[in-house]
Structure 1
Amino acid sequence: MITLVALIVAILFVPSPWSYVLVIAAAIVDLGETGAFVWWSRRRRRRTRPAVGAEDLVGRVGVALSALDPAGQVRVQGEIWDARSATRVDRGEAVVVEAVDGLRLEVGPTGGDADA
């Protein structure tokens, strides 16, 4: 866009030798901005984990709000979720999210206590 503006200004208002300099400088700035925008847009693709969504919860640690025997509720990243555990988990015990099944988390104990 800046190249087009520079081209119009160069044709209408700037004398001959400087018009070429103006257009070339604007093209260089335009290419630099384009390269920066491409780099900025691709930098997030290098992440191995999703940034949002239910898939982001897998591997996160939470706390059991009720006893899970086999079902109950847990808090993960500040959100309360229905959860199911293959082993009994007591209230206040730390859990790790192993899978997501719809709106229910499959969790397991981490072996430590967590703050509610």
Structure 2
Amino acid sequence: MALLLLIVPVAHYFRFLTVGLVLAITPILTTLNMCFYPAQMSALPKILDKKLLTQGNSLFSIAIKHRSGLQCVFRRFDYCTRRCFALFMELVGIFHRRSFVYPTENQNTNQ
């Protein structure tokens, strides 16, 4: 997995990073992650003492479950930020258009 993840910055450094490369790597990483999750869960009892196993299992489960919750929060923040920026740019455009004096037909004929 680490080698696959390193392909992206290396490809960017050598300027051959493409959308196709990222789209090819993503399903492979997702499939590998599906295999590693059970392995991580089975390795937990080997790493922790029996006294800490319940707490470690709980913390590991919280980390996995809240990862998707945090993604939801960051998506909402991203949406709000984009909307505020779009509103700001629209207001700037309105004020920018009002600052110009567009010539009328009478002004064009007098010159």
- TM bucket (normalised to shorter chain) is 0.3 to 0.5
More strand by share: 1
TM-score normalised by length of structure 2:
0.37
TM-score normalised by length of structure 1:
0.36
More helix by share: 2
